[in-house]
Chains A and B, each alone.
Chain A
Amino acid sequence: IVLTQSPATLSLSLGGRATLSCRASQSVSTYIAWYQQRPGQAPRLLIYDASTRATGVPARFSGSGSGTDFTLTISSLEPEDFAVYYCQQRFNWPSTFGPGTKVDV
């Protein structure tokens, strides 16, 4: 299953709203996770099962979608949110990641 993420880069200001898209080449039900990766760090789980926030993830992060189209929304960007975001499908094996969306200032 191929995941496509758009846009490749999203340039926004502090306090802005970020809307990131992830599209699957076939239906993955809700078996989508979203990860944040800051430079030099390991990925961090944000959202699983398309819309469930992981433990400790702020409420400004939300996920939605099912089937082939998914969205990660950051309601009001904080300085630590400028990073790369990846979606991952766990509907079938092999699991795959999207190419990522970079959110920068």
Chain B
Amino acid sequence: EVQLVESGGGLVQPEGSLRLSCAASGFTLSSYAMTWVRQAPGKGLEWLAYTSSSGRTTYYADSVRGRFTVSRDNAKNSVYLQMNSLRVEDTAVYFCARDGEVSSDYWGQGTLVTVAS
């Protein structure tokens, strides 16, 4: 069974940093690209970042480029999202998802990040 479990969320002050993790199981992580998506409270989905199966290729949304970095360790079956210079508007539930060719077919349950002083 494919499982994705996010962790690392919590309360952080503006301008602070946080590193999210996504633990993958039930499939061979090194064969799949992965994506991060977030959802602010009461709002819609916002695509954030993509990493290819090897990690050599990454893409970012304009809203986080230069502040967030996606990485992965296939040997540890994990994907990461390093978030720096956090803003109040980054408050959201953060999901990781497994990528197919043109969609994200499995999603984790998300981890909540709250940016507040």
**Chain A residues packing against B (C-beta within 8 Å):** 31-33, 35, 37, 41-45, 48-49, 54-55, 84, 86, 88, 90, 93-100
Contact = CB atoms under 8 A, between A and B. Distances in A.
A11 B35 CA distance: 32
Given A54-B105, A88-B103, 19 more contacts: A31-B102, A33-B102, A33-B103, A35-B45, A35-B104, A37-B45, A43-B37, A43-B97, A44-B107, A45-B103, A49-B101, A84-B44, A86-B44, A86-B45, A90-B101, A94-B60, A97-B46, A98-B44, A99-B44
Leading 4 A-B pairs by shortest Cβ distance? A33-B103, A48-B103, A42-B107, A93-B59
B62 interface: yes
Interface size class, chain B: 20 to 34
B44 A48 contact: no
Interface string B42-70: 00111100100000000111100000000
